[in-house]
Amino acid sequence: MHNNLKIIKDLHYQDLSFLTKDISEYISKNCNMKAADRVAVKLNLVGPFEPQKAATTHPEVVRSVVEALLPLDCEIVLCEDISEENVLEVTGIKELIKDYNLKFYNLRDYGYESVLVEGIEYMYSSLIESCDIVISVPKYKNHMLTDFTGAIKNMYGCISRKQRKELHKFIDAGDFANIICSIYSIRIPDLIIMDSIVCMEGMGPSLGEPRHLGYLVLSTDGVFADYYMSKLVGYETENLQVLQTAFKRELTKSQIDDLKMIDCGFQDKEENFNRVPVYIGKYRKKYMDMLKRTYKVDDSLCIRCGACVDACPFHAITLKTIPEFDRDKCALCTCCMELCPTNAINYKK
């Protein structure tokens, strides 16, 4: 198979220590890695969420990747763009860094360079561009705005936070999918190691519920990895804008026969996975309008820090006694939820 897809099933996080050799061999086989190469390990640390919430890459998956890289004599560049230091502690990554005496690289500290893609100038991470190998370690989750998030969208974090905030104003699903794919195309990862052991179903990327599936997905093709997982949980992939845009722009390394393997010979299904509804056109707008009315702030958790006000690209939040939302301005980008340090913003179930 051209994408070298490897699926490891029936896993729990405590099982991963037994997979170090397999992961190391997979990396050696599929990455043209030399001694002293700089290897970026790009995580998904969307906010200060504990590992059991299934909103971020689980530290035991990161530990397995680090253990697999150590014998390869490379420089491990553990990286992500984070707003606050406590993100590392809450997500369990800080303890791992100490265990291996590693350095964490916050992308915003290393600057950005201008890259033009399809007429849009992106401020892209200089650190990621400087690395010899890029390994993306995303978490597969539902996403209220983009339907799902996985390997493709994980690279969205490689542009500056200021630009991420501005680009969320592209509220049309097709436009935003094209932007996500443009950013992915700047530096397509050499390898994907996707944490699908416990995924997030329901209202992801941060308000959903954890769901144990038990999969670790390894691939040289992020588009194919996303396609595999989206098929697995029962999405109709022809309606997923991000995936269809990636196929249209030929960002996949896979061949049509690889895709037919999933479409025609696919045995694994998790069809009772609680997916987000996928609507197109006017039905999507009605659904989004309905969701906007369900936002609420937990007064007992809110610390009135103003992070949500600063995060909102649409100026839809005003900080009064507690944050108040202008539903007409809100585009359901979920930035406020992701950056709230106390997880005080939720929706009415």
Rounded to 5 degrees, φ, ψ at 304 are 55, 40
| Per-residue confidence (pLDDT) for residue 328, from 0 to 100 | 84
3-state SS assignment for residue 76: strand
CATH architecture of the domain covering 6-265: 3-Layer(aba) Sandwich (3.40)
| Residue whose entry in the numeric block shows the structure tokens 């990895």 | 225
Is 160:194 a contact under the CB 8 Å cutoff?
no
Cis peptide before 277 (omega within 30 of 0): no
In a structure prediction context, what are the per-residue pLDDT tens digits for the chain, which is 349 residues long? 456 889 999 999 999 999 999 999 999 999 989 989 999 999 999 989 999 999 999 999 999 999 999 999 999 999 999 988 899 999 999 999 999 999 999 999 999 999 999 999 999 999 999 999 999 999 999 998 899 999 999 999 999 999 998 887 766 767 899 999 999 999 999 999 999 999 999 988 888 999 999 999 999 999 999 999 999 999 999 999 999 999 999 999 776 566 655 554 456 688 799 999 898 777 777 777 777 777 789 999 999 999 999 988 889 999 998 999 988 888 778 888 888 888 898 876 6
Q: Which pTM does this prediction carry?
A: 0.91
CATH, range 293-347: 3.30.70.20
| Per-residue confidence (pLDDT) for residue 1, from 0 to 100 | 44
Domain boundaries, given as residue ranges, for the chain: 6-265, 293-347
| Per-residue confidence (pLDDT) for residue 265, from 0 to 100 | 47
Q: In 198-267, which ranges are continuous DSSP H helix?
A: 222-232, 241-248, 256-265
| Residue whose entry in the numeric block shows the structure tokens 């999918």 | 177
